[in-house]
Amino acid sequence: MSYTLDEMMTVAASRQLKDGAVCFVGIGLPSAACVLASRTHAPNLVLIYESGTVETAPEVLPLSIGDGELAATATSVVPLPEIFSHYLQGGRIDVGFLGAAQIDRFGNLNSTVIGPYEAPKTRLPGAGGAPEIATHAKEILIVMRMSKRGFVDSLAFRTSSGHLAGNGERKTKAYPGHGPQALVTDFGILRPDAETDELVLTELFEGVSAADAVAACGWPLKVADNPGRVAPPTETELETLRALNARTKTAHAAKVTLSLN
Amino acid sequence: MALMSLSEAIRLHVKDGMSVALEGFTHLIPFAAGHEIIRQGIRGLHLIRMTPDLIYDQMIGAGVADRLTFSWGGNPGVGSLHRLRDAVENGWPVKLEIFEHSHGEMAAAYTAGAARLPFAVMKGHSDNDLAAHQSGRTTKMDCPFTGASVTAVRAVNPDVTILHAQKADRAGNVLIEGIVGAVKEAAFAAGKVIATVEQVVDDLGAEKNAVILPHFLVSAVACVPGGAYPSYAMGHYDRDNSFYIAWDDIARDREGFTDWIAAHVTGVADHRAFLEKLGVVA
C-alpha cells in the first residue's frame, strides 16, 4: 500500500508509545498518533488532555484540546489546575507530546515568537502547557517536519526546555523528567546521544538518505553509524489511521444546530 | 445574586479600564457576554484568559482591550488568531500590552487568587526566555523549609469574571458540567462574577461533588440559551468546529473582520439575533 509522509510520521510516532503508558496528548498529529497506538499495539495507553479529560478514548480526533468528544469518552474530567498540579507536577505523566515552530539540536523549543519579543516579526501562539510538560513528563516525544527555518542553530526564543546546553545539564539541574527521547521528523527519527544529549539521526524512513536529512536540517546534523530503517506502515496501521481521519473529517464539517428554549 | 438580562449585567458590572476574565476552556466560552461588551462600546479593558480563543480575537479586533493576560493565543487545531497578532505585531486597532504566562502558571495564579493568597508556588526548573518578560509576576525563590528553588507566581484577581454554564437555580447557584477548565478558580479570584446560563431551573438536580458556584459568589445571572456558541455547552449543543475553521478566513484581514463584526455583533440586538443571523437555530 502506498502512503503519505504524514501517515508515515504519525505511524512512527505511534510506535514510540508503550502499552500502559500515561500519555499527555496534544491536538493534531499527536492525537492521531496516540489514538492510532491505542487502537493497534497499545490498547492500555492512557490518554490525558490538558483540558482535564483523563483516560479518553475518542472515536474521532479532536479539533481543539477540549472537544466534547474528549469529555464524553473520558473516565473522569478534572479541573484544569489539577491537571497541571496533581498530574503533571505530581509526576504522574510518562510521556508528553510536543511540537513547536523551532527546535535546536538539544530539543529546546520555541513556540512564542520570531524576532524581538517586544516588536515581534511573527507572534506565535505562545507557551500553553509546553514548559510544564517539558519539565515534568518522564519523557518527551516531539513531532516536527524538518526545515532550515524550523531546525535551527540557535532559537529565537526558548519557550520549553529540552536538554538545555546538553552534556547532562538537565540532570545537573535536577529536572524531574528526562527530556526529549525521540524526535520524529519527515525524514526519520532523531534520538539524544547518551553523553552529549545532542539529537542524532538514528533511523531513516524508506526511500530517504541520511544526506537528504542533513541537507534539510538547519544545524550540522549528526548521523548515527549505520542508521536503522523505520518499517513502512502496516496495512492495519494504515487502515486504522485512514478510517480515523475519515471519521474526523466528517465530524468536523458537521453542521451544528441549537434548539433554543 | 440578581437574575437580569445580559445587557443589564454588563452595563452594571463591566466598566471601561477594568480587568475582566471571560473563562471557560474550549468548552462554555461566554461568547454572548463578549459580544455584549463589544456592543456596549466598552474600552480599555485588561482582558484575562488562558486561551484567548475566537472571543478575544473578536474583542481585541473590535478595540475593547489594551492589555491581555494569557497563556496560549491560537485558534486550536486551525492556526493563528489574526486579530490578536495584528494588535501585538502592528498595534491595530489598539496597541496591546501583553502579560504572558504558561498554562501551569495561569492555573496557579487563578488558584492563588481564589484563595486570596499573594502568590502561588510551582516546582522550579523551567529555564525559558519567558521569565525575563514576567517582571513583577514570576520570580524564583527558595523553599523556606527545604531550601529548594521554586517559582513564585503572582496571584491573578480579575475585577470581574464572566462565565457560561448549563444551569442556574432561582437562588443563583450555578452548575457547571463537563470540562470546567479554571472557571471555578477564576470565579473565586474575582471581585464580581457574572454567569450566563443555558437555563434557569427550580432544582439543579446535581450530585454532591458537582461543580457549583454558590449564589453568594455570583453577582448576576443572565439566561442566554446558546450563549457559548460557537464554543459549546455539553448536554445542549456541540462545538461548531466548522465555524472555528471558517474564522481563519473571516479574521485574516481587517476589512473582512470589521464587516463581520458590523453584520453579526454590533448590527444585531442580542445573542439570539446573532444565532439566527448565522442560521444555526434549529
Cβ of B225 within 8 Å of Cβ of A52? The answer is no
The pLDDT value given to residue A105: 98
pLDDT of residue A77 exceeding 70: yes
List all residues of chain A from 171 to 210 with a beta carbon under 8 Å from chain B. Answer: 173-176
pLDDT of residue A27 exceeding 90: no
Residues 6+ apart with CB under 8 A from A142: A97, A98, A99, A100, A103, A107, A109, A180, A182, A183, A184
Tens-of-pLDDT digits for all 282 residues of chain B?
Answer: 799 999 999 999 999 999 999 999 999 999 999 999 999 999 999 999 999 999 999 999 999 999 999 999 999 989 999 999 999 999 999 999 999 999 999 999 999 999 999 999 999 767 899 999 999 999 999 999 999 999 999 999 999 999 999 999 999 999 999 999 999 999 999 999 999 999 999 999 999 999 999 999 999 999 999 999 999 999 999 999 999 999 999 999 999 999 999 999 999 999 999 999 999 998
The pLDDT value given to residue B119: 98
The pair phi, psi for residue A14, each rounded to 5°, is -65, -35
The pLDDT value given to residue A26: 87
Cβ of A257 within 8 Å of Cβ of B237? The answer is yes
Mean pLDDT of chain A: 96
CB atoms within 10 A of CB A31: 27
Shortest Cα distance, chain B CAs vs residue A106, angstroms: 14
Mean pLDDT of chain B: 97
Residues of B in contact with A161 (CB under 8 A): 125-128
The answer to whether A59 is a known catalytic residue is no
Tens digits of residue pLDDT in A222-247: 999 999 999 999 999 999 999 999 99
The pLDDT value given to residue B22: 98
Residues 6+ apart with CB under 8 A from A226: none
Tens digits of residue pLDDT in A84-107: 999 999 999 999 999 999 999 999
The pLDDT value given to residue A210: 97
Cβ of A261 within 8 Å of Cβ of B225? The answer is yes
What is d(CA A210, CA A223) in angstroms, rounded to the nearest whole number? 7
Q: Going by DSSP bridges, is the β-strand pair B74-75/B79-80 parallel, antiparallel, or unpaired? A: antiparallel
A91: left (phi over 0), alpha (psi -120 to 50) or beta: left
**ipTM above threshold 0.90:** yes
Tens digits of residue pLDDT in A208-226: 999 999 999 999 999 999 9
The pLDDT value given to residue A253: 86
The pLDDT value given to residue A261: 62
Shortest Cα distance, chain A CAs vs residue B63, angstroms: 19
Cβ of A67 within 8 Å of Cβ of B108? The answer is no
B-chain residue closest to A163, CA distance: B127
Exposure letters B14-28 (e unless 16+ CB within 10 A, then b): beeebbbbbbbbbbb
Tens digits of residue pLDDT in A143-167: 999 999 999 999 999 999 999 999 9
